[in-house]
Amino acid sequence: MTAAKEDIELEEDFVSEDADDSDAPAETAKTNLTKRRIIDNYLEERRLQKQLNDYDFDL
């Protein structure tokens, strides 16, 4: 019966060891950073377009 408990403990260690889950937050962070850069670029483009529209070319 002791051997069975040891086997279960080994299985629990294997199941609790989630090395793959540590990669998921990194991918999420990378995706969020990419989305943030896209949004920042879009906002920068809008700001520059507004500046062009407001610029008085008849100086």
Taking the complete model, does pTM exceed 0.85, yes or no? Answer: no
Angle formed at CA 9 by CA 7 and CA 15, multiple of 5 degrees: 105
- List pLDDT tens digits, range 23-58: 567 788 889 999 999 999 999 999 999 999 998 877
Q: Map out the domains of the chain as residue ranges.
A: 25-59
- List pLDDT tens digits, range 24-33: 677 888 899 9
